[in-house]
Amino acid sequence: MKSENYMELKFPSKSANEAFARAAVACFAAQLDPTLDELGDIKTAVSEAVTNCIVHAYPDELGEIVLKARILPDSVLDIVVKDRGRGIEDTEKARTPMFTTGGADRSGMGFTIMESFMTEFRLTSAPGKGTTVHMKRKIIRRGGKK
């Protein structure tokens, strides 16, 4: 699908970059004139995806995270967060609410939050090869804006 605009960022899996990623996507999404609630949902979903890369994909080393965003026709924000880390053996189990491999301080709600805050959600992963989270959010046009 042809995009109206796009961006791509690559950054190391450092905790400080989670805030950077969410801010970058929020700034990019602003061109669609989202409501504060829509923008909050998008930022939260991106935070969850990037945090998963930091905590689960590269638990003992720094790795690279790739964040892509596109504006698609009909005011759809398309976001991809990808790593080349450990990968997930059982993606269905990983998507189960409260399931985590990150220890007692992790809630296990990341994928559930991403899926509930976005219009579309897709997870692909292979052990030893990495994980890709693909999310879309339809932005409701307000006041007859085109």
Catalytic residue selected from 17, 18, 22, 48: 48
Catalytic residue selected from 64, 84, 106, 115: 106
Q: Is 5 a catalytic residue?
A: no
Q: Is 52 a catalytic residue?
A: yes
- First vs last Cα of the chain: how many Å apart? 19
Q: Is 48 a catalytic residue?
A: yes
Rounded Cα–Cα distance for residues 140 and 34 (Å):
7
Catalytic residue selected from 52, 70, 86, 137: 52
Sign of CA dihedral 99, 90, 136, 23: positive
Would you state the structure tokens that stand for residue 100, as one six-digit string?
């985590």
Catalytic residues: 48, 52, 106
